[in-house]
Each structure stands twice: as C-alpha cells, then as structure tokens.
Amino acid sequence: MDVYGLIGNPVGHSVSPPMHEAAYEALDVDARYVTFEPAADAGAAAVEAAAELGLRGLNVTIPFKQDVLAAVEPAPLAERIGAVNTVDFGTDPPTGYNTDAAGVTRAFAHHDVALSGTAVVVGAGGAGRAAAVALADEGLSVRVANRTESTAHDLADLVGGDATGHGLDELPELLASAECLVNATSVGMEEDRSPVPAEALHGDLAVLDAVYAPLETRLLRDAAAAGATTIDGGWMLLFQGVEAFERWTGADAPVEAMNRALRAHL
C-alpha cells in the first residue's frame, strides 16, 4: 500500500484526505492519505521523517510551505514563488512543487475563462504569490493590490515583466480594464466582507475567490450581481490537489470524484 499525507499546524480541518481517498477509490489504487501535525518549527524535519517512513508523497500547508524548502530540491516554479505545497519522494533528494499555481489556472480553465489581458490579484501573501506568478506565466499583465503597498511592489518585482504593485485604494481604476480578478486574501472567511468595492466589479470580469469557507462569499455575490463569471475557492483547492495527485501517480486524476468528495466535506 502506498501512503501519502499532509503536514500542517493545525491540520484537523483539512478536506484533503477525503478528496485524495476518493481518487484512490475511483482508480482502484491501493493507497491511503493521512495527516500529520508537527510542531510549528518542525516542517523540514517532518519532511525528512516522512521520507524515512517511506511515504510516496506529501502535501504541505500553513505554516510549513517555506520551511520545507530546506528539505527538498524545489522545482523552478516553487523556487520562484518561494513556497512548496507538494513533495514527491520519488527523487533523491525529494522534489518540492507548488501546485497552488496550477490550482488558479486550472480553476479558470475549468470555467472556460480565456486567460488573456490583465489580471488583478488582491493580496501578496502565499496565495497571492502563486496566483500572480501563475497568471504572468500565462501571458497576462498582472496588477497586485495589497493593504501594504510596498509588499505589492515587492511581489510585482518578483513576477517581473510588466507587473505592477498598488494599494487597495486603486482597485476601482485597476479593475475597470481587467479581465480576471483573484482574491488571495482571507477577507470573507470569517466575516461577510469583501476586499473589493462592489461598484468596481463588472460583467467582463472572471472572479476567483481563494476563500472556500464559505464557498459563497460576499465578493462572489457582488460579482454575480454585476454579471461577472464567478469561481469559488473550492475549485482552486480541488485543482491544486488534482495537480498533486497527477505528479505523484502519473495518472489522470478522477476530477469529478475528487470534486464530489471535496464538496461533501466543505
């Protein structure tokens, strides 16, 4: 039996186990997916221990996505983003990937959104970094808006090309000519709030909210009212898991089975 897993702290809320085990069942793969909650300063050590235990692959979530870089050989994309959320133990040393980037682009593709033009990314943390780099690599002009404007400029410099950094007060102007919007902040998770003024949204936008609890956020309600295409955070969560499964197994993931299991637990 192959064993895969997830490290995070906390990790009890994760919906990754049922999502991945649904994939194993659908493809008749003899595997299990388990969770580990190391001490907050033990991310790299946990990866090394997982290798010793013979795990085939490991997902990584908060607060370990940067820490585990010391225990893996990061793939070029993960190195650029500065974070690893998927480890493949099939190489020596283990390879670290960032599948959050694919979670963004595959979520848009699943909703038939043509990735072209200008994308606005709200937030410059881990999810924002993954989204900004992924969309720039797809050829979009990226505009990063963040509460701390200097951090937005830092991310724009990392992305390169014609990416620019901005404060949140510039969102109405930025969105007027944008085709895609990603909320990569946690705004909307615990309160019925949106990081984007409702009047700045319009029908030519495709809006992806990385928040998945709740699935229907204030931002997505406002976007739907404006006639925009809306994509809830469950899709980004699904497709980062799909990408991890495919990297580990080399098989096409059973996307529908994984999506059903994911949404049953959200």
- Residues with a catalytic annotation lie at 65
Q: What is the DSSP letter of 4?
A: E
Q: How distant, in Å, are the alpha carbons of 5, 40, 105, 125, 244 from that of 241? A: 12, 23, 13, 20, 5
Query: Which residues does 86 contact at the CB level (< 8 Å), separation at least 6?
Result: 57, 58, 59, 60, 96, 97, 98, 99, 240, 243, 244, 247, 248
The three-state secondary structure class of 209 is strand
Task: Round to whole Å and give the CA distance between 109 and 128.
Answer: 18
Note whether 74 and 101 are within 8 A (CB). no
Task: Classify 187 as helix, strand or coil.
Answer: coil
